[in-house]
Amino acid sequence: MTINVIIAGFKGRMGSTAVEMVKQDQELQVAALLDPFAEEKEADGIPVFTNKESMQGISADVWVDFTTPQVAYENTRFAIENGFAPVVGTTGFTQEQITELSALSAEKNIGGLIAPNFAIGAILLMEFAAKASKYFPDLEIIELHHDKKKDAPSGTAVKTAELINQVRQPKKQGAADESETLAGARGAEFAGFRIHSVRLPGLVAHQEVIFGAAGEGLTLRHDSYDRSSFMSGVNLGIKEVVKRNQLVYGLEHLL
């Protein structure tokens, strides 16, 4: 059975890569495309829409979303309410929004996925970091992305921090009397440890978790050198959500 897929944000860096991935998989088909600034009415025979409301009633199974943090929540709500199982890569969701969307999906009996990172190596890094934090409670997260990224810290860094926080003994790091002579020098605080966001041209998506203990250190690092690194995860997400009946947060729940 062919899975029909809507792609929201199809003109963006991730959205356009997702269109190519879907086109190359014979089990998948692009049903429609959405971007508010698209001028064309169709692309390669696929209908193009500029607002989601006019997509009601389209025959599609899955809504892939790589848009912006400002619209992704409303898009995901819309997808669930209209029977499209969401596969969302857009970052910047709050915990409350994820809980609410998960409850809505259960009510509507529809599967879904919000994944701050679709790269398998990044999922492993998060898992390894959480495990290490049990033994190395002193750590800092450094996430590095291209300079067009709109939100900071990255969704991956937040998810990593949340997973670490479930395992790590609560602790405020650094000297009790430390102070910043330049605001922000110590990064953002999350449960007593710090997250630093680097934005530079040339980068794609990278993350380090650095651990320190008496006389030793441990560094975990993942690099996405190319957006193709996310596509096997998006493909898996599309094929899994159609079999499920509730939205989950994190690709690891579908692996």
Binding piece for ligand NAP, criterion CB under 6 A, among 9-17, 56-64, 77-85, 241-249: 9-17
Q: Is 89 in the site for ligand NAP (CB under 6 A)?
A: yes
6 closest CA partner among 27, 26, 22: 22
Provide the minimum distance between the beta carbon of 35 and ligand NAP in the complex, in angstroms, as a whole number.
5
Q: Alpha carbon of 143 to those of 5, 25, 127, 151: distances in Å?
A: 31, 32, 16, 12
23, 108, 149, 239: the catalytic one is: 149
What residue numbers does the annotated binding site for NAD(+) cover? 9-14, 35, 89-91, 115-118
- Of these residues, 52, 145, 196, 206, which one is catalytic? 145
Phi, psi of 117 (to 5 degrees): -150, 130
73 in contact with ligand NAP (CB under 6 A): no
d(CA 238, CA 232): 10
- Segment interacting with ligand NAP (CB under 6 A) among 28-36, 76-84, 195-203, 212-220: 28-36
Can you tell me which of 63, 78, 93, 118 binds ligand NAP, judged by CB under 6 A?
118
Among 164, 230, 238, 241, the residue binding ligand NAP under the rule CB under 6 A is: 230
Q: Which of 63, 66, 193, 211 touches ligand NAP (CB under 6 A)?
A: 66
Shortest spacing between CB 61 and ligand NAP, in angstroms: 18
Work out which of 1, 26, 37, 178 binds ligand NAP, going by CB under 6 A.
Answer: 37
Q: Which of 7, 8, 79, 85 binds ligand NAP (CB under 6 A)?
A: 8
Alpha-carbon distances, residue 99 vs 93, 192, 215, 226, 254 (angstroms): 10, 24, 41, 31, 17
Does residue number 97 form part of the binding site for ligand NAP (CB under 6 A)?
A: no
Q: Are strands 42-43 and 46-49 parallel, antiparallel or unpaired?
A: antiparallel
φ, ψ for residue 102, nearest 5 deg: -65, -45
Catalytic status, residue 134: no
Q: Which residues, in sequence order, are bridge partners of residue 64?
A: 7, 87
Query: How are beta strands 216-224 and 205-213 bridged, if at all?
Result: antiparallel
> Angle, nearest 10°, between helix axes 155-167 and 120-133?
30
Question: Residues at the annotated binding site for (S)-2,3,4,5-tetrahydrodipicolinate?
Answer: 146, 155-156
Which positions are catalytic? 145, 149
